[in-house]
Amino acid sequence: MKLRALITDDELPGRENLAAMLHIYAQNVEVIGFADSVAECRIKIEELKPDVVFLDIELGDGTGFDVLENLEDKDFFVIFVTAYSSYAAQAFRTDATDYLLKPIDVEDLIKALDKVSERMEFKKFKTGQKVENSGTSDAKQESIKVVTNDGNEYISAEKIVYLKSINYLTLIVLDNGRELVAGHHLKEYEGQLSSDKFYRVHNSYMINIQYAETLKGGESPAVIMRGGYNIPVSRRRKEAIVRYFGAKK
């Protein structure tokens, strides 16, 4: 999934330079718009609904902090980009994801985007937890079409405990212990299943977080699923999952 980014800087070279860096070094980011002032940034946030806003601090009609002040729906992550280190403490008090100094270092930019991705993953886990605990009819009912040697079958997503990639096929394990080998790649099912409930914890595994019970730590972390299934967690996904289980306590 691509991160949708809005770049706000009152200087054209600043906007162009960051957009070029993202194009070259961060292909998981799509720049969806630009703004050069507090007023325009607030309008673009409302119109475009970005995932992440790169925000210069000193703008012609105010500051980046003014953009965030009294914003009704702050459903995005903020990375401040500025030539001034003196604003760092204030920036992090706004719950900014990161603070980059100009000229931007490529490594720092990539690390900041990794932080955004981790926070988004944690947010998905929290959303999934709310769905699980709500017990209301608003929870989305889904089913997926599974192509097996015996023909086509429609499986309720609610019954899926986890999915495992097996070369170009997918093993689907259900809550009653039944296992199906489906004739499609795991990536295809990832696109079909709700991101509120299903999460890719490893390159080869996707779990239904409704069945996640505990997290086993150590050098080889794993999620223990209902039924005793031990699902490995990749190093890249570990932090978001640790946060999720911490939030459940």
Query: What CATH number is associated with residue 74?
Result: 3.40.50.2300
- CATH number of residue 189's parent domain: 2.40.50.1020
- CB-count burial class (<10 Å; 0-12, 13-18, 19+) for 246: exposed
Residues 60 and 163 in one domain: no
Residues 14 and 92 in one domain: yes
Residues 24 and 87 in one domain: yes
Q: What is the pLDDT of residue 131?
A: 46
Residues 203 and 100 in one domain: no
Structural domain of 11 = 3-104
Q: What is the pLDDT of residue 232?
A: 93
Main-chain dihedrals φ then ψ at residue 196, nearest 5 degrees = -75, -25
Are 182 and 199 in contact by the 8 Å Cβ rule? The answer is no
Q: What is the pLDDT of residue 95?
A: 77
Residue 36: how many other CB atoms lie within 10 Å:
19
Are 148 and 183 in contact by the 8 Å Cβ rule? The answer is yes
Listed as ranges, residues in the chain with pLDDT below 70 are 1, 73, 122-142, 149-151, 246-249
Residue 80 forms part of a structural domain: yes
Interatomic CA distance for residues 117 and 236, integer angstroms: 10
Residues 90 and 141 in one domain: no
Interatomic CA distance for residues 123 and 144, integer angstroms: 24
Q: What is the pLDDT of residue 217?
A: 78
Residues 17 and 77 in one domain: yes
For residues 173-192, one letter each, b for 16 or more C-beta atoms within 10 angstroms of the residue's C-beta and e for the rest, the string is bbbeeeebebeeebeebbee
Q: What is the pLDDT of residue 140?
A: 42
Interatomic CA distance for residues 248 and 132, integer angstroms: 12
Residue 128 forms part of a structural domain: no
Give the residue among 114, 57, 65 at the shortest CA–CA distance from 94: 65
Interatomic CA distance for residues 107 and 104, integer angstroms: 9
At 47-77, the pLDDT tens digits run 999 999 999 999 989 999 999 987 776 889 9
The domain total for the chain is 2
Q: What is the pLDDT of residue 127?
A: 52
Residue with the two structure tokens 């699923």: 225
Residues 57 and 139 in one domain: no
Residues 139 and 244 in one domain: yes
Residues 8 and 91 in one domain: yes
